[in-house]
Amino acid sequence: MIRGPQRTVRHLRRYREIAHVLIGHGLGELVDLVELQPHLGLPRRLVRRWREEAPPLSPPERLRLALEELGPTFIKLGQVLSTRPDLVPPAYIAELTKLQDAVPPDPWAPIQQQIEAELGGATAELFVTIDHNPIAAASLAQVHGAILHDGAEVVVKVQRPGIEETIEVDLEILQDAAELLEGRVSLVRLYDLPEIVRGFAATLRTELDFFREGHNADRFRESFAEEPYLYVPEIHWDLTTCRVLVMERIRGIKIDDVKGLERAGYDRRRVAALAARMVVKEVLEDGFFHADPHPGNFFVMPGEVIGAMDFGMVGRIGGRLRADLTRLYVAVVRMDERSMVDQLIRMGAIVEDVDRRALETDLAVLMDRYYGLPLKAIRARQVMQEVRPIAFRHHMRLPSQLWLLGKTLAMVEGVGLKLDPDFDFFAFSRPYLRRFLLQMVVGQDRGARLIQTGGDWSHFLTVLPRIGSHLLAQAERGDLRLSLEHRGLGRALDRLDRTANRISVSVLLAALIVGLALVIPAFDLTEEIGLGTVLVVAGFVGVSLLGLWLIFSIWRSRR
């Protein structure tokens, strides 16, 4: 497991820490699975203890607690796994969704040093005031309130000092474990676990880049420029780097604070409707959605405007994937499980040799539960919970963005139901879905396409008479020839020619060997060297050289 000179003492220390935490939470079988114990010299009493007395908790609970204790990388890993029911059994999904990302804040001194090192100046020069006590603290960063010299209120998001180095070590350890498990656990081979870890590493590194988070906020602001119900705070780019983000501070009532909204006189049903409208537009129109819509990231401001924050985690649904989802939705509406399976195969979500009958049966049973129900009686969270065991049982490999989208919809629906018991998320999606279906048929940029197509046809009709008459004249004279070129055929013929030559040489070599064997007895090689002896020796040397050349040629071609 621990291999190569690149594994530093720090890595070994982290390996030991991970092993201690896993064993302490009764997960020592994971330590055995990746063969950590022989390399780390763990005390035998510690290893013996987990085998004899495991904590009185379920395995999913023990895993969640272990991930929380292991820190930011593993907390984020658990949160990602909670959106992948194709990888993790339903019981673990339910527990991993409870992972908490709130940790005690760092002292002010190292945070101040981080700000000053990134922004190139003293905090007293950069801000009129900055609160030493954070507004919020998470595993990757913490947020402080501040006031700029122009009087603007801002929040300063600061990456925890040293967190990048810690995460890089953990990612290397996870990559090692994934590569080892791939060769040991048959189920892992179905999902390419090392590639999943590489994708997770890329996602986590992106979340550490606050510069990109600022650009995400700008993109949301541009997308909703014509929608007055959503407000995205401004980014102060002159005070933003990849480790420090300074953003306009917005104030309002948390979107799930029902009593607070009522005291302020806000219409809860309208707020729920606006939240649903925001998500539907993000998914079906923009293909770019806020992937962490928990209530702490959304505030209701005067005029029932929703203010959004924290754009570090976003999801992307490309045009092709949206079209695939729409076709899948049509198959669901038609209650056609065969079309659903066909569409899932086209999407690459399941392999073609899947047990179609079993999968179609599971899908039919699932759809029968909702047959005849009004849309407002169908809950996205409940549907997701029932889809998860099917996905796990049939090894579905849906894009991770879809599971992230499902989690996002479930969270928004939960907030909507809290604000409005009659909240119907699907009702808000229908107009957007019809519009998207229309775009699929006629094209979103149909005007530009018609102009381009018209120009192409105009050019084609202009040159058609000239080219057509020229071709007909050639055909009439018998000069029209059809030329076919097979790309790559020359290389194949060369290889075939070399193979034939090698076979010919082999046959010739065999004939010479047989001939020498028949000729040698006719000569007395013990007599004085004569012409016959020279010919025999020369023939033997020639045959030997020819054989050596043939062996070398075959060896070189295999190399």
Domain chopping of the chain, boundaries: 9-101+166-202, 252-446, 503-558
The first and second tokens of residue 25, run together, are: 């939470």
* CA gap 293, 308 in Å, rounded: 9
Which residue's entry shows tokens 């000239």? 466
Question: What distances in angstroms separate CA 199 from CA 63, 77, 414, 455, 480, one per listed residue?
Answer: 22, 11, 29, 43, 55
The per-residue pLDDT for 1 is: 47
DSSP 3-state percent helix, strand, coil across the chain (nearest 5):
65, 10, 30
Q: Is 385 exposed, middle or buried (0-12, 13-18, 19+ CB in 10 A)?
A: middle
Characterise 372 by phi-psi region: left (phi > 0), alpha (psi -120 to 50), beta (else).
left
Within 10 angstroms of residue 453's Cβ, the number of other Cβ atoms is 11
The pLDDT value given to residue 451: 45
488 vs 499: CA distance, rounded Å: 17
Report how far residue 401's alpha carbon sits from residue 137's, in angstroms, rounded to the nearest whole number. Answer: 27
Q: For residue 395, which of 342, 358, 343 has the smallest C-alpha distance?
A: 358
- The CA distance from 36 to 30, in Å, is 9
Which one of the listed residues 86, 170, 257, 292 is annotated catalytic? 292
Token pair recorded at residue 489: 């055929």
Comparing CA positions, the residue from 351, 318, 51, 339 lying closest to residue 189 is 351
Is 422 noted as a catalytic residue in this protein?
Answer: no
**Sheet hosting strand 298-301, strand order edge to edge:** 230-231, 305-308, 298-301, 253-254
**Phi, psi values for residue 522, rounded to 5°:** -75, -10
Where does 420-488 have alpha helices with state H? 425-442, 446-477
Strand partners, 316: 288
Q: What is the pLDDT along the chain (559 residues), one digit of tens a residue?
A: 445 434 445 577 888 888 888 877 777 666 655 555 555 555 555 555 555 555 678 888 888 888 988 888 898 888 888 877 777 888 888 888 888 666 788 999 999 999 999 999 999 999 999 999 999 888 899 999 999 999 999 999 999 999 999 899 999 888 888 877 766 655 555 567 788 888 889 888 988 999 999 999 999 999 999 999 999 999 999 999 999 999 999 999 999 899 999 999 999 989 988 888 888 888 878 888 888 877 888 999 999 999 999 898 888 888 778 778 778 877 876 778 888 888 888 887 777 677 888 988 998 888 888 776 665 666 777 777 788 788 888 878 777 777 778 778 777 878 888 888 877 776 667 676 666 666 655 555 454 445 445 555 665 677 677 677 777 777 777 776 766 666 556 666 667 767 776 677 777 777 777 776 666 666 655 555 666 666 667 777 777 777 777 677 766 665 5
CA distances to 71, 143, 241, 538 from 212, in Å? 23, 17, 9, 77
| Residues 56 and 48: beta-carbon distance below 8 Å | no
The residue type found at 88 is: V
Query: So what's the pLDDT on residue 163?
Result: 92
CB 539, CB 488: distance < 8 Å? no
Q: Hey, how many other C-beta atoms are within 10 angstroms of the C-beta on 194?
A: 18
pTM over 0.75: no
Task: Note the helical H segments in 103-209.
Answer: 108-119, 123-126, 163-182, 186-189, 193-207
Rg (CA), the chain: 35
Phi and psi angles of residue 106, each rounded to the nearest 5 degrees, phi first:
-75, 155
Residue 419 to residue 258: CA distance in whole angstroms: 6
Q: How far is CA 29 from CA 17, 25, 253, 399, 422, in A?
A: 16, 11, 46, 30, 47
How far is Cα 335 from Cα 325, in angstroms, rounded to an integer? 15
Residue 273: both structure tokens together: 């409707």
Q: Length of the chain in residues, anyone? A: 559
175: closest CA among 145, 146, 196? 196
279-290: b (≥16 Cβ within 10 Å) or e: bbbbbbeebbbb
Three-class secondary structure assignment of 305-328: EEEECCCCCEEECCHHHHHHHHHH
Query: What is residue 214's predicted lDDT score, i.e. its pLDDT?
Result: 95
Three-state SS at 288:
strand
Alpha-carbon distance of 401 to 315, in angstroms, equals 6
DSSP annotation of 297 reads G
288-290 and 141-147 beta bridge pairing: unpaired
pLDDT, position 62: 87
Q: First and final CA of the chain: distance in angstroms? A: 31
What pLDDT sits at residue 555? 66
Q: Are 439 and 349 in contact (CB under 8 A)?
A: no
Residue whose pair of structure tokens reads 């656990």 in the numeric block: 185
* 247 beta partners: 155, 235
